Chains A and B, each alone.
Chain A
Amino acid sequence: MDEVLLRSLTPSVLTILVRRGADFAAAEDAVQDALVEAVRVWPDDPPRDPKGWLVTVAWRKFLDATRADTARRRREDVVEDEPVPGPVSGTDDTLQLYFLCAHPSLTPSSAVALTLRAVGGLTTRQIAQAYLVPEATMAQRISRAKRTVSDVRFDQPGDVATVLRVLYLVFNEGYSGDVDLAAEAIRLTRQLAAAIDHPEVAGLLALMLLHHARRAARTAADGSLVPLASQDRALWDTRLIAEGVEILQAALARDRLGEFQAQAAIAALHADAPTAGETDWPQIVEWYDELVRLTGSPIVRLNRAVAVGEADGPRAGLAALAELDDTLPRYAAVAAHLHERDGDLALAARLYADAAERAADPAERDHLTRQAARLSRSS
């Protein structure tokens, strides 16, 4: 059974239940129960209409739960009179579901968890494993998130930007455990792109595809990081690159530039270079200028300094770097790289060692430690 196909039905089934009058939290639980039952039943008895099957089963689960609930509270059982599920309509409100799960009242971690469950159809256990927290903690995070949005009207207009931020966070979490969050983020962004025509949604999808295309080249067999310049470009996934570039070009043609399109344009220029030496750095610097204008982010300025160093030489890069706050994450790593290219190996070695101490992840720390050792030996 194709579990991804099954999970891709989650948002439309859930929105149908909500449209029929089920409250979001109860409907979401019922859909999860139906997914579990599908995993159990479908291998031996595949349904002719998977979505219809899920709607019927989820609705029954919802009624059962509501009945049990009302019986407990000794209230009149009104749900008995609800109409029997009819044929499933083709339209759904997937977009509304994305908005709800990324509602601004949620913290980033709760929006991520709720999106993965209610839109992605992942189980609480899978989400907990992916984020390396106990299942009980993740269950609480999700039920709190549901309570937080319980008063939000389902058809309330939402903000695409908040949804994109959530999907970006999911993609950047990478993969640990048995759930590939990068692949899941791509799937959810594709689904969003199908639900709404928006250049930044396309921009984010292109960005994810272009980064994902390099995944196999990014780590060596021993797990160590391989920087972009040293990657074996034959390992890049040309099909994903072609798709990402095509999506990006269509988005850019609409002349409504945003930060994700600009980031994707930079990724596309890297993907376009047959060798690291043939990278079009001047054009990359221009895109960084656009990104600085769009975001004003100091991290973007730091990356721009690297690009300036490649386009106009290490001195120009160091001059761009000098304007930035030296407490920025990766500042020392960038400074080390530019000083090495400028020929000051002793200073570069010290800066690499300093950068290793401040690295946020072990793979990056090990990479910087190796750089420091390489230069200390040669200088």
Chain B
Amino acid sequence: MAKYLLLKHYRGAPPAVNDVPMDEWTPEEVEAHLTYMRDFAARLEESGEFVDHRALAPEGTFVRYDGEGRPPVTDGPFAETKDLVAGWMVIDVDSYERALELAGELSAAPGAGGRPIHEWLELRPLLTAPQPMTE
């Protein structure tokens, strides 16, 4: 019983095997991809392992405190990477092995030519509440 975050990247990860941008897919390929993602989430809900699933808008702003009485800095040096994270899914599973298995399935979502994208996903454990017996 542990929760994991599956992070989907736009950039920052090495290119996927089937690295064709989505806007070059045929409508059928896009549809197949979206169906796969929807079915994946539905299957997780059915298996009692689904927690949360969100996509992020590609735009975003870096903000930094710039001292008392001054407006925050919103123009950071990170313009290239502001769309690093595309979305996430949180799962609640019995083991790390199961989390790996699910991440593998998600990465196999079909892309151009209906072939798996082999997209890189990042799998990170969520911190838990303190456990009284481990005091």
Interface centre among B47, B132, B134 (most CB of A within 10 A): B132
Interface centre among A133, A144, A176, A263 (most CB of B within 10 A): A133
Q: Which of B90-131 contact A (CB under 8 A)?
A: 92, 94, 125, 127-131
**Cα distance A172–B1 when bound, in Å?**
12
Asked whether, in the complex, the Cβ of A211 is within 8 Å of the Cβ of B48, the reply is: no
Q: Which bracket fits the contact residues of B?
A: 20 to 34
A104 at the interface (CB under 8 A from B): no
**Cα distance A323–B133 when bound, in Å?**
24
**Cα distance A212–B135 when bound, in Å?**
11
Closest to A364 in B: B130
**Cα distance A172–B133 when bound, in Å?**
6
Closest to A360 in B: B128
Asked whether, in the complex, the Cβ of A361 is within 8 Å of the Cβ of B128, the reply is: yes
CB contacts (< 8 Å) of B135 on chain A: these are 211, 214, 218, 227-228
Q: Which of A84-143 contact B (CB under 8 A)?
A: 107-110, 112-113, 131-134, 136-138, 140-142
Residue in A137, A182, A211, A214 whose CB lies within 8 Å of B45: A137
Interface centre among A137, A168, A172 (most CB of B within 10 A): A137
Interface of A is mostly: helix
Given known A-B contacts A211-B133, A360-B127, A360-B128, A134 and B48 have beta carbons under 8 A apart? no
B50 at the interface (CB under 8 A from A): yes
In this complex, how many residues of chain A approach chain B with their Cβ under 8 Å: the count is: 43
**Cα distance A260–B109 when bound, in Å?**
46
CB contacts (< 8 Å) of A359 on chain B: these are 127
Asked whether, in the complex, the Cβ of B127 is within 8 Å of the Cβ of A110, the reply is: no
B33 at the interface (CB under 8 A from A): no
Asked whether, in the complex, the Cβ of B132 is within 8 Å of the Cβ of A225, the reply is: no
Given known A-B contacts A133-B51, A134-B50, A137-B49, A361 and B92 have beta carbons under 8 A apart? no
**Cα distance A112–B2 when bound, in Å?**
13
Given known A-B contacts A171-B133, A211-B133, A211-B135, A109 and B51 have beta carbons under 8 A apart? no
Nearest CB in chain B: distance from A284 CB, A = 14
Asked whether, in the complex, the Cβ of B48 is within 8 Å of the Cβ of A131, the reply is: no
Interface centre among A174, A227, A359 (most CB of B within 10 A): A174
CB contacts (< 8 Å) of B75 on chain A: these are none
Residue in A174, A207, A227 whose CB lies within 8 Å of B131: A174
Residue in A132, A169, A211 whose CB lies within 8 Å of B132: A211
Given known A-B contacts A107-B94, A228-B135, A363 and B130 have beta carbons under 8 A apart? yes
Nearest CB in chain A: distance from B46 CB, A = 5
B8 at the interface (CB under 8 A from A): no
Asked whether, in the complex, the Cβ of A169 is within 8 Å of the Cβ of B48, the reply is: no
CB contacts (< 8 Å) of B1 on chain A: these are 108-109, 112, 131, 169
Closest to B3 in A: A132
Asked whether, in the complex, the Cβ of B3 is within 8 Å of the Cβ of A362, the reply is: no
Nearest CB in chain B: distance from A127 CB, A = 11
CB contacts (< 8 Å) of A363 on chain B: these are 129-130
Nearest CB in chain B: distance from A27 CB, A = 21
Give 1 or 0 for each of A168-182: 1 = CB within 8 Å of chain B CB: 110111101000001
Given known A-B contacts A108-B1, A132-B3, A218-B135, A144 and B129 have beta carbons under 8 A apart? no
Interface centre among B50, B92, B134, B135 (most CB of A within 10 A): B135
Asked whether, in the complex, the Cβ of A134 is within 8 Å of the Cβ of B130, the reply is: no
Asked whether, in the complex, the Cβ of A137 is within 8 Å of the Cβ of B51, the reply is: yes
Give 1 or 0 for each of A36-61: 1 = CB within 8 Å of chain B CB: 00000000000000000000000000
Given known A-B contacts A109-B1, A112-B1, A361 and B130 have beta carbons under 8 A apart? yes
A215 at the interface (CB under 8 A from B): yes
Q: What are 22 sample pairs from A and B whose C-beta atoms fall under 8 A apart?
A: A108-B1, A109-B1, A110-B48, A133-B92, A140-B47, A141-B47, A141-B48, A144-B47, A169-B1, A173-B129, A174-B129, A174-B131, A211-B133, A212-B132, A218-B132, A227-B135, A228-B135, A263-B133, A330-B134, A360-B128, A362-B127, A364-B130
Shortest 9 CB-CB contacts between residues of A and residues of B: A141-B48, A140-B48, A109-B1, A172-B131, A363-B130, A107-B94, A361-B130, A361-B128, A137-B50
Give residues in B with beta carbon < 8 Å to A.
Answer: 1, 3, 45-52, 92, 94, 125, 127-135
